[in-house]
């Protein structure tokens, strides 16, 4: 037992060793951009790899086991600009660890449990702009040895153990600092003393993030005379009281943008009231944003008393549900309401408002007209709104509108062509359900419109004047709609300034030759995801500026070579992937063209054949022309052969009987016939044939030899051959037993037809008709030829009476005897005498 466990242990050890060895030295880094960018993430590296080019600028070493950074650790990579050392278990960084990285601008140290950071750890980083030291056990900014990083713009020390808000002295040495992220630390109190440095050497454009610190107290006057670009305080306060006190503590601050609020999953405040924001009256700020307060008062506009002079307001995910009470004289110019809970569309009356963004508000269904006389920018996307009548000046009470976004809403019924909204430059309806857009020239007055998006609006273009008036349009997106007859008609006549046109997913099967004739400036045309069957390039000919043509995801099998010459010369990119290319020699010239145009075609390697079966899912580029030369030869030879064979076959088939019969005639001519008569009858009449005909003729005197297919046909030989060889060739005469069954049975008719031919060829009166029953004339007339013959020739009628039978047999024998060779034994005479004798009895 013991040795076995030991062996196992040894094996495991060896494997572990091999695994480590393999991990460390064999796993190559991913080459993102050769000589420039390498990704060595999570490769179980224990040291910095040395097989990476010295020219590397971007190096990602995250999630490895570097533990310890010695001095000059990166001296192999003097060109480095960006170094990611996230979660590398680094505990110790020695002096000069990054020495020589004069071009490094970004250093990421996130998630390293640093215990020992030498004073000269960051020395040599003369270009560093961004240092990310999130989650690095940092306890104080004071001890962070970055004072010499004069170029630093962004310092992120979030998620550490910093207690003090004191800006260290060395900040006066960092004149470029614009972002300081101190979020998620342990700062509780902010004192006047902390910002001493900023008072001496103001950082005019500093953005400061203090979110997720458990703020308790801000000493009044701390921010007096301080100027910042932005201050963010989210999820900082555990009660409204603390929040109120702290906001008062901000008095005197001059700031461009203030952000207050909580985070979606970090909501602490249990209540909220108007007084909380009172302190804001002692601040000077331009923009205000507030987010995710769950207890935000629904319609208390008193909250905004201190925001009268603010120019931009943004409310995100709050419970506000009405803003009607806002005084008209508020100076707000931009208002953004996102994911709030309005029950009704807010009919604001703010004279100053220029930009109104109202997105993703649930709970309303109908748009209500409002009066915002200075509004220029209106974004109402994703509100499930329906519009009864769109769009004109009366909807928004403004004539200054330039940007209108009604995308991702409900039904929008068009009943006006933007009267009074002639200033519009940008219009977006995508993914709303547009009604009546196709009934008249809706966009007629929009002579300034540059951008129009009606993608996925359920529009079926029937009316050709739909885009009349859009003379300045540069971008038109109409993906996911449809056209009458799946044909793209000539509807862009006035759009002479158009540069981008998206017609993807429009179920198009054909394109009118004139469709693009008025678009000389078009640069991008997207025809992908349609149903085009061939790359008919003629319509693209007038597109003198076309650079990108996307015809991917169609059903294109080929294109005629002479047509390919019509592609515009300016074309730089053609996407033909995901089509149904037929890799057959018939389209050889097109396939060759594909090979020649590899530069032009996007992903030429990914263009696959779908036909023929044996080429399915093979790259189009793998198609060999040489096989076609061969194939051509083979094909022409085989076609010729097949042609000859089939002609011969057809001839043989047509004249098969004649040929056979011809052969038979000769034989007959030589007097080789062995039967006196070949009997054609329906199997239904077989009883009569056996019991009457055969008995009387074969057993009578003279005996006649009959050919009967049930008896005389050679088994295993095809019926037709039998009939001809045995039946006709070897018989002098043919007896046709005509009955009701005979006429109805196709087989009999077939035999009869052959017999006719034979009669014709031998030009003998060789056919003897026996009519068994009275025939219905109408039935007989269906068999025209038989009917004719019966009328023309005399025939024997079978009569089942003593006298009738007697006459019948006499006449039949006589007919059969006609032309029977004379036998020297005198049998013929004897026969005839015998016959006379029988007949007279």
Ligand X SMILES: *[C@@H]1O[C@H](CO)[C@@H](O)[C@H](O)[C@H]1NC(C)=O
Distance, CA of 755 to chain centre? 68
Would you put residue 637 in left (φ > 0), alpha (ψ -120 to 50) or beta? alpha
The one segment of 101-109, 166-174, 305-313, 426-434 that binds ligand X by CB under 6 A: 305-313
Site string for ligand X, 251-270 (x = CB under 6 A): x-------------------
Which tokens is 424 given?
């519009």
In the bound state with ligand X, the residue whose beta carbon lies nearer, of 55 and 616, is 55
Burial (CB < 10 A; 0-12, 13-18, 19+), residue 368, is exposed
> In DSSP terms, which residues pair with 510 in a beta bridge?
487
User: What is the per-residue DSSP string for 32-73?
Assistant: EETTTEEE-TTS--SS--S-S-TT--EEE--SS---EE-TTT
In the bound state with ligand X, the residue whose beta carbon lies nearer, of 91 and 151, is 151
Told to check if 602 binds ligand X by CB under 6 A, we report yes
In the bound state with ligand X, the residue whose beta carbon lies nearer, of 82 and 573, is 573
Told to check if 273 binds ligand X by CB under 6 A, we report no
Told to check if 529 binds ligand X by CB under 6 A, we report yes
In the bound state with ligand X, the residue whose beta carbon lies nearer, of 599 and 801, is 599
The one segment of 103-111, 277-285, 387-395, 675-683 that binds ligand X by CB under 6 A: 277-285
Q: CA–CA separation, 157 vs 131, rounded Å?
A: 8
Number of other CB atoms surrounding residue 130 within 10 Å: 17
Query: Three-state DSSP class for 325?
Result: coil
Which tokens is 417 given?
């062509």
Q: CA–CA separation, 567 vs 392, rounded Å?
A: 42
Site string for ligand X, 753-772 (x = CB under 6 A): --------------------
- Least Å distance, CB 501 to ligand X, is 10
User: What is the per-residue DSSP string for 161-181?
Assistant: -----PPPGGGGG-TT--EEE
In the bound state with ligand X, the residue whose beta carbon lies nearer, of 91 and 229, is 229
Task: Please report, as residue ranges, which positions from 559 to 578 form the binding site for ligand X (by CB under 6 A).
Answer: 573, 575
The one segment of 18-26, 70-78, 348-356, 497-505 that binds ligand X by CB under 6 A: 497-505
The one segment of 506-514, 526-534, 614-622, 700-708 that binds ligand X by CB under 6 A: 526-534
Task: Please report, as residue ranges, which positions from 38 to 57 form the binding site for ligand X (by CB under 6 A).
Answer: 53, 55
The one segment of 129-137, 351-359, 525-533, 647-655 that binds ligand X by CB under 6 A: 525-533
Told to check if 216 binds ligand X by CB under 6 A, we report yes
The single residue among 553, 593, 668, 809 that binds ligand X, judged by CB under 6 A, is 553
In the bound state with ligand X, the residue whose beta carbon lies nearer, of 426 and 505, is 505
The one segment of 403-411, 422-430, 546-554, 702-710 that binds ligand X by CB under 6 A: 546-554
The single residue among 71, 151, 282, 757 that binds ligand X, judged by CB under 6 A, is 282
Site string for ligand X, 55-84 (x = CB under 6 A): x-----------------------------
In the bound state with ligand X, the residue whose beta carbon lies nearer, of 239 and 565, is 239
Q: Which residues contact 152 (CB under 8 A, 6 or more apart)?
A: 128, 129, 130, 131, 146, 174, 176, 177
Taking only Cα atoms into account, the Rg of the chain, rounded to an integer number of angstroms, comes to 50
Query: Three-state DSSP class for 111?
Result: coil
At 550, give phi and psi (nearest 5°).
Answer: -110, 105
Told to check if 35 binds ligand X by CB under 6 A, we report yes
Task: Please report, as residue ranges, which positions from 456 to 485 form the binding site for ligand X (by CB under 6 A).
Answer: 471-472, 479
Told to check if 395 binds ligand X by CB under 6 A, we report no
In the bound state with ligand X, the residue whose beta carbon lies nearer, of 62 and 457, is 457
The single residue among 166, 382, 431, 505 that binds ligand X, judged by CB under 6 A, is 505
Told to check if 275 binds ligand X by CB under 6 A, we report no
Query: In which residue are the tokens 């400036």 written?
Result: 521
The one segment of 154-162, 273-281, 579-587, 751-759 that binds ligand X by CB under 6 A: 273-281
Residue count, binding to ligand X (CB under 6 A)? 37
The single residue among 118, 359, 548, 720 that binds ligand X, judged by CB under 6 A, is 548
Q: Which helix (H) or strand (E) holds 758?
A: helix 746-762
Which tokens is 654 given?
């047509």
Sign of the torsion formed by the C-alpha atoms of 771, 777, 779 and 783: positive
Q: CA–CA separation, 544 vs 546, rounded Å?
A: 6
Told to check if 210 binds ligand X by CB under 6 A, we report no
3-state helix, strand, coil in the chain (%, to 5): 30, 20, 50
> In DSSP terms, which residues pair with 502 in a beta bridge?
477, 526
Of 152, 172, 158, the closest CA to residue 104 belongs to 152
- 3-class secondary structure per residue, 254-301: EEEEEEEECECCECCCCCCCHHHHHHHHHCEEEEEEEECCCCCCCCCH
The one segment of 524-532, 755-763, 780-788, 790-798 that binds ligand X by CB under 6 A: 524-532
Burial (CB < 10 A; 0-12, 13-18, 19+), residue 192, is middle
The one segment of 354-362, 367-375, 548-556, 801-809 that binds ligand X by CB under 6 A: 548-556
Q: CA–CA separation, 774 vs 778, rounded Å?
A: 12
The single residue among 24, 94, 178, 422 that binds ligand X, judged by CB under 6 A, is 178
The single residue among 497, 534, 545, 631 that binds ligand X, judged by CB under 6 A, is 497
Binding footprint of ligand X on the chain (CB under 6 A) = 34-35, 53, 55, 178, 205, 207, 214, 216, 229, 238-239, 248, 251, 278-279, 281-282, 306, 308-309, 471-472, 479, 497, 504-505, 526, 528-529, 548, 550, 552-553, 573, 575, 602
């Amino acid at each position: 037992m013991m040795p076995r466990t030991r062996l196992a242990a040894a094996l495991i050890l060896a494997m572990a060793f091999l695994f480590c060895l393999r991990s460390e030295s064999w796993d190559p880094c991913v080459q993102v951009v050769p000589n420039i960018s390498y990704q060595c993430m999570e490769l179980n590296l224990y040291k910095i790899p040395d097989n990476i080019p010295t020219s590397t600028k971007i190096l990602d070493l995250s999630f490895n086991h570097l533990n310890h950074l010695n001095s000059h650790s990166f001296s192999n990579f003097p060109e480095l600009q960006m170094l990611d050392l996230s979660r590398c278990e680094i505990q110790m960084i020695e002096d000069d660890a990054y020495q020589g990285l004069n071009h490094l601008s970004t250093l990421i140290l996130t998630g390293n449990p640093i215990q020992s950071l030498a004073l000269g750890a960051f020395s040599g980083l003369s270009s560093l702009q961004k240092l990310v030291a999130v989650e690095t056990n940092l306890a104080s900014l004071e001890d962070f040895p970055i004072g010499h990083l004069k170029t630093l713009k962004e310092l992120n020390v979030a998620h550490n153990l910093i207690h003090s808000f004191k800006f260290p002295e060395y900040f006066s040495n960092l004149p470029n600092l614009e972002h300081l992220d101190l979020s998620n630390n342990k700062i509780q109190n902010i004192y006047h003393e902390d910002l001493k440095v900023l008072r001496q050497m103001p950082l005019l454009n500093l953005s400061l993030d203090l979110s997720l610190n458990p703020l308790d107290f801000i000493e009044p006057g701390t921010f007096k005379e301080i100027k910042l670009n932005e201050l963010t305080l989210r999820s900082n306060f555990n009660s409204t009281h603390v929040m109120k006190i702290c906001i008062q503590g901000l008095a005197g601050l001059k700031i461009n943008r203030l952000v207050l609020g909580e985070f979606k999953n970090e909501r602490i405040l249990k209540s909220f009231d108007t007084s909380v924001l009172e302190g804001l009256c002692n601040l000077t700020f331009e923009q205000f944003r507030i987010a995710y307060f769950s207890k935000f008062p629904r319609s208390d506009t008193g909250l905004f008393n201190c925001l009268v002079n603010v120019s931009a307001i943004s409310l995100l995910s709050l419970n506000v549900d009405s803003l009607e009470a806002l005084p008209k004289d508020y100076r707000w110019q931009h208002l953004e309401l996102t994911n709030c809970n309005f029950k009704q569309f807010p009919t604001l009356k703010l004279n100053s408002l220029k930009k109104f963004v109202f997105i993703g508000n649930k709970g309303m269904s109908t748009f209500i007209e409002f009066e915002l006389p200075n509004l220029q920018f209106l974004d109402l996307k994703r509100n499930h709104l329906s519009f009864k009548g769109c769009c004109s000046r009366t909807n928004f009470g403004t004539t200054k509108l330039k940007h209108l976004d009604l995308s991702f809403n409900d039904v929008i019924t068009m009943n006006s062509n933007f009267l009074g909204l002639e200033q519009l430059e940008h219009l977006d309806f995508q993914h709303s359900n547009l009604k009546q857009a196709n009934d008249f020239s809706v966009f007629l007055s929009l002579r300034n419109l540059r951008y129009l998006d009606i993608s996925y609006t359920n529009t079926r273009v029937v009316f050709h004047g739909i885009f009349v008036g859009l003379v300045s349009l540069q971008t038109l997106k109409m993906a996911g709609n449809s056209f009458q007859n799946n044909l793209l008609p000539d509807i862009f006549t006035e759009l002479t300034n158009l540069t981008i046109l998206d017609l993807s997913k429009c179920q198009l099967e054909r394109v009118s030759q004139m469709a693009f004739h008025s678009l000389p400036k078009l640069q991008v045309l997207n025809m992908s995801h349609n149903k085009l069957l061939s790359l008919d390039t003629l319509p693209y000919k007038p597109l003198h500026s076309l650079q990108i043509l996307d015809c991917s995801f169609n059903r294109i099998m080929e294109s005629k070579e002479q047509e390919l010459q019509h592609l515009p010369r300016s074309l730089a990119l053609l996407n033909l992937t995901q089509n149904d290319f037929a890799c057959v020699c018939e389209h050889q010239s097109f396939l060759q063209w594909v090979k020649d145009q590899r530069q032009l075609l996007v992903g030429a390697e990914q263009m696959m054949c779908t036909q023929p079966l044996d080429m399915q899912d093979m790259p189009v580029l793998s198609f060999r022309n040489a096989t076609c030369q061969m194939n051509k030869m083979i094909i022409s030879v085989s076609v010729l052969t097949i042609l000859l064979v089939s002609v011969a076959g057809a001839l043989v088939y047509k004249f098969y009987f004649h040929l056979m019969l011809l052969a038979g005639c000769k034989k007959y001519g030589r007097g080789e016939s062995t039967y006196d008569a070949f009997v054609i009858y329906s199997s239904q009449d077989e009883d009569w044939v056996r019991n009457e005909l055969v008995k009387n003729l074969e057993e009578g005197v003279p005996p006649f030899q009959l050919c009967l297919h049930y008896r005389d046909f050679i088994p295993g030989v095809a019926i037709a051959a039998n009939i001809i060889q045995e039946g006709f060739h070897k018989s002098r005469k043919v007896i046709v037993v005509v009955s009701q069954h005979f006429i109805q049975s196709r087989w009999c008719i077939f035999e009869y037809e052959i017999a006719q031919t034979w009669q014709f060829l031998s030009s003998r009166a060789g056919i003897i008709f026996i009519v068994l029953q009275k025939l219905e004339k109408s039935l007989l007339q269906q068999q025209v030829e038989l009917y004719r013959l019966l009328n023309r020739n005399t025939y024997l009628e079978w009569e089942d009476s003593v006298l009738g039978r007697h006459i019948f047999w006499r006449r039949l024998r006589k007919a059969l005897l006609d032309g029977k060779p004379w036998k020297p034994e005198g049998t013929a005479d004897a026969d005839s005498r015998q016959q006379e004798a029988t007949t007279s009895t």
